[in-house]
Amino acid sequence: MRICAITLSPQGALVLERIRKMIPAVDCYVHENVATPPWVKKFSRVVELTRQLFGKYEGLVYVAPCGAVIRAIAPLATDKKTDPAVVVVDVGGRHAISLLSGHEGGANELALQVANAIGAEPVITTTTEAVKNLIVGVGMRRGRPAADIVAAVTQAMAEVKSTVADARFLASADIKHDEAGLIEAARIMDIPLRFIDGEEIRNSTRHFDHSDFVWKKVNLPAVAEPCALLAGRRTKLILKRKICNGVTVAVARENCLSLE
């Protein structure tokens, strides 16, 4: 997917730099009134720029208010099967919202990619994804093959009387962002893969079992349980961590009124 990122403000430009660091191929456009590095492309009017880029890129990421983005894309949107993916990020880098062409156009996947890049919360409202409420936290040693991870996740979901199709996210620590087996397992099971910032895990006040072994190895109190809890909203563990074929898994349910 060819991606561009657009912003109108100095605060947004800082978010663009974070996106570009993790997604180097992205083309960045910043309003002409904002001081920026030489690699940034300048524009004067976001509506005119959007008209130029709408058919040029497959993914458009705006670090801007939703209202401004909606006004810019509204005259151009025609069909969810052909429109580019559009994602909106607030200038604080807190949320990455899948706004247009969520499923067919890849905006859901793009929102998750951007969220993983900057440590934001992905906001996905497509019905088939939004109604799922189980999150599987996963931890493993380096080099664990995808087949082992698939087997562990499948077993964990079976223990909570569900299947992998019911999982909203696989979640792991950001130190695993390049773990080939984990990435391949998520692809095989067709489950979005979310990474949780290590600092968020260390600072979390949620209750989960700590592991001296994990702390010694990767400077984290645990991986599977906190990632399952922190990857969603109003979460509660329904399967505490267990080890299967060298893979640690835990399952949390979202939207629980009574939290741990």
Residues of the chain with pLDDT under 70: 256-260
Which part of the chain is CATH 3.30.420.180? Answer: 132-253
The pLDDT score that the predictor gives to residue 1 is: 86
CATH number of 132-253: 3.30.420.180
- Single out the residue of 131, 148, 130 nearest to residue 139, CA to CA: 148
Residue among 202, 129, 222, 135 at smallest CA distance from 171: 135
**Tokens 């349980």 map to which residue?**
225
Per-residue pLDDT, 259: 45
Q: How far apart are CA 14 and CA 21, in angstroms?
A: 11
Tokens representing residue 21 in the block? 């660091």
CATH 3.40.50.11220 domain span(s) along the chain = 3-128
Topology adopted by domain 3-128? Rossmann fold (3.40.50)
User: Which residues contact residue 146 at a Cβ distance below 8 angstroms, ignoring those fewer than 6 apart?
Assistant: 180, 181, 182, 184, 185, 188
